[in-house]
A and B are shown apart, each in its own frame.
Chain A
Amino acid sequence: SQQGEEDPQALSIQEGENATMNCSYKTSINNLQWYRQNSGRGLVHLILIRSNEREKHSGRLRVTLDTSKKSSSLLITASRAADTASYFCAPQGANNLFFGTGTRLTVIP
């Protein structure tokens, strides 16, 4: 399956700490995207990392991709209460995205 699998399923940290979420997948991909979803809302695109890239940064976000291990990680530094949400990785095949069940991040003020 191309579906991404996030780990851990849930993560609770104090404000100011860093949060790391991992993603594994099983087949070859063209790129991998990370999204955030606040409860009951739509998805917000965070970062797209292509299969020939190893690391990408965007503000407080850092994404890595290891295609040999078929894994990716999302690091949020200096977390804020507003970062509380579910985070999904989505490996991308030819057309569509394959979402996992997500990591529920809770940042405690």
Chain B
Amino acid sequence: NAGVMQNPRHLVRRRGQEARLRCSPMKGHSHVYWYRQLPEEGLKFMVYLQKENIIDESGMPKERFSAEFPKEGPSILRIQQVVRGDSAAYFCASSPTGGTAYEQYFGPGTRLTVT
């Protein structure tokens, strides 16, 4: 059973470009969470999605950031018009169901560098 897959592992973008980060959850998992980790800091929650639904986006910046989890295919975190402050590691996690009963399994992360 493959774990959570994220790609790309490293992404370099110039200021103003768009960044697209992909996350494929573990097989059988229908809940996806995105977190951001700045250097020397812990992970900060961004958004929680189920298939075709955003459940909780309380951690998402109001502008330039969006996320989706379509019926088919991976979850996508999209950052438009990137700025240097967006440079961070972005992790997604998945669980078989939501709520508090299950562990969240993390992917290896995508390290975004904005130049």
Q: Which residues of A contact B (CB under 8 A)?
A: 3-4, 30-31, 33, 35, 41-45, 48, 50, 88, 90, 92, 94-102
B109 contacts across to A, CB distance below 8 A: 41-42
- Return the chain A residue nearest B33 by Cβ: A96
Choose from B41, B45, B107, B108 the contact partner of A97 (Cβ within 8 Å).
B45
B52 contacts across to A, CB distance below 8 A: none
Q: Is the CB of B42 within 8 A of A95?
A: no
The B interface, classified by DSSP as helix, strand, loop or mixed, is: loop
Report the number of A-B residue pairs with Cβ-Cβ less than 8 Å.
62
- In B56-114, the 8 Å CB interface with A consists of 56, 59, 91, 93, 98-109
Most buried by A among B45, B48, B56: B45
Q: Is the CB of B43 within 8 A of A41?
A: no
- Return the chain A residue nearest B6 by Cβ: A42
Given contacts A96-B59, A99-B42, contact A45 B100 (CB under 8 A): no
Q: Is the CB of B56 within 8 A of A43?
A: no
The distance from the CB of B88 to the nearest CB of chain A, in whole angstroms, is 13
Q: Is the CB of B108 within 8 A of A101?
A: no
**B44 within 8 Å of A by Cβ?**
yes
- Return the chain A residue nearest B109 by Cβ: A42
Choose from B41, B98, B101, B105 the contact partner of A101 (Cβ within 8 Å).
B41
B41 contacts across to A, CB distance below 8 A: 101
- In B13-60, the 8 Å CB interface with A consists of 33, 35, 40-45, 48, 55-56, 59
Q: Is the CB of B42 within 8 A of A96?
A: no
10 further A-B contacts with Cβ under 8 Å, apart from A48-B102, A94-B100, are A42-B4, A42-B91, A94-B99, A95-B48, A96-B33, A96-B59, A97-B33, A98-B45, A99-B42, A101-B40
